[in-house]
Amino acid sequence: MLAYIIRRLLLLPILLLGVTIFVFAVFALLSPEMRASLYLADVPKSPDAMDRIIKKYGLDQPIHIQYWQWLNQVIRGDLGWSKTAQRPVSEALLYYLPATLELSLWAMLPVILVGIWLGILSAVHQDKLIDHTMRVFALVGWSLPTFVFGLLMLMYFYARLQWFPPGQISDWVTREVINGSFIRYTQMYTIDAILNWRWDVFWDSLRHLIMPVITLSYVQWALLLRVTRSSMLETLRQEYIMTARAKGLKESVVINKHAARNAMIPVATMGGLLLIGLLNGVVITETIFNYPGIGRWAADAAIRLDILSVIGFTLFNGVLLVVGNLIVDVLYAFIDPRVRLE
């Protein structure tokens, strides 16, 4: 077990290095002039300003020297200036992260619990009405673009019924934050509301979160439901399930204790895929609901061709995914002893 974890940990720096090389390669697709213009705040006053910047940042150097310089900057946390956020990219990431984290935390819980539960339900009642409903539900979720689903939700629950507004929080809360009667400890409104013991703020924040959470979860539900269903179906055909039934165990015990636990092993590999879905989904969902997280920031930056922000965001995503996959793999080795014997 330990050897397996160490082997995986040794692979981490190599992968991270690969990620940085890759991101830099994408960055280097731009000509030196274009990259120099990213460092300029304004239109250059003097004609040779461009050349000076190219010289100063070494943009005319051979590519491997440039990469080395860039890597040094990145390690020091200097990712350049984000024109979209009007602050350095590394600060912008930290500034927008709590909102996205809050959204993701609220979204992940229903995804995992409801998705697995529905999948098991669907497999147990195979080819019954509930199974067909679930399969149609999953297929539609798999085929409906996130942005169409989000816009349809906005159309009904915001434009027509006025129940759930877009954005992150109502104006009156923002005013209270400014005049200091509501303190933001964690930058996450729902948690801050509990810490401040303000249930009206909690409710307001929840009202804003509900639609993005459902939009972000729907595709993931569909994915998880499908995998859980097929894994559960396979497990239910195993002979030890027959044995358990033959022993006269109650059906609920057979399903929950004997089948579901073993069916969860392949589902655990989905962790990485769910993370990818979350990172992808956050960009679209936050853009539609005008929710101020890193996803909306990145989408805004991409449209304005604010390349430094986009590059910083991608690097962040790459590192997050590499580390996330490592954690999933290690957890998987914990659950399924067969993996670490390989």
Q: Which two tokens stand for residue 331?
A: 């957890």
Taking the complex as a whole, the smallest distance from the CB of residue 16 to another protein amounts, in Å, to 9
**Residue type (1 letter), 184:** R
How far is CA 76 from each of CA 65, 73, 79, 167, 336, rounded to the nearest angstrom? 17, 5, 9, 33, 39
By beta-carbon proximity to another protein, the closer residue of 11 and 183 is 11
Contacts by residues 335-339 (CB-CB < 8 Å, ≥ 24 positions apart): 335/264, 335/265, 335/268, 336/265, 336/268, 339/4
Phi, psi (degrees; rounded to nearest 5) at 86? 55, 40
Taking the complex as a whole, the smallest distance from the CB of residue 210 to another protein amounts, in Å, to 16
By beta-carbon proximity to another protein, the closer residue of 31 and 243 is 31
Taking the complex as a whole, the smallest distance from the CB of residue 319 to another protein amounts, in Å, to 8
Taking the complex as a whole, the smallest distance from the CB of residue 183 to another protein amounts, in Å, to 32
How large is the greatest C-alpha to C-alpha distance in the chain, in angstroms?
88
Taking the complex as a whole, the smallest distance from the CB of residue 167 to another protein amounts, in Å, to 11
By beta-carbon proximity to another protein, the closer residue of 21 and 94 is 21
By beta-carbon proximity to another protein, the closer residue of 114 and 326 is 326
By beta-carbon proximity to another protein, the closer residue of 15 and 177 is 15
Angle at alpha carbon of residue 298, lines to 294 and 301, rounded to 5°: 140
Taking the complex as a whole, the smallest distance from the CB of residue 338 to another protein amounts, in Å, to 18
Residues at the interface with another protein (CB under 8 A): 14-15, 18-19, 21-22, 26-27, 29-31, 34, 135, 139-140, 142-148, 151-152, 154-156, 158-160, 166, 230, 233-234, 237, 276, 279-280, 283-284, 287-288, 298-299, 301-303, 305, 307, 310-311, 313-314, 317-318, 321-322, 325
How many residues in the chain? 342
Say if residues 321 and 102 touch (Cβ distance below 8 Å): no
Taking the complex as a whole, the smallest distance from the CB of residue 234 to another protein amounts, in Å, to 7
By beta-carbon proximity to another protein, the closer residue of 21 and 65 is 21
By beta-carbon proximity to another protein, the closer residue of 57 and 313 is 313
Say if residues 220 and 206 touch (Cβ distance below 8 Å): no
Residues paired with residue 88 on neighbouring β-strands, in sequence order: 81
By beta-carbon proximity to another protein, the closer residue of 33 and 200 is 33
Taking the complex as a whole, the smallest distance from the CB of residue 44 to another protein amounts, in Å, to 17
Reduce the DSSP state of residue 143 to 3 states and report it.
Answer: helix
By beta-carbon proximity to another protein, the closer residue of 193 and 311 is 311
Reduce the DSSP state of residue 29 to 3 states and report it.
Answer: coil
Taking the complex as a whole, the smallest distance from the CB of residue 321 to another protein amounts, in Å, to 6
DSSP letters spanning 166-184: SSSS-HHHHHHHHTTSS--
Measured CA to CA, the distance from residue 88 to residue 109 in angstroms comes to 32
Measured CA to CA, the distance from residue 119 to residue 221 in angstroms comes to 9
Burial, 49: exposed, middle or buried (Cβ in 10 Å; 0-12, 13-18, 19+)?
middle
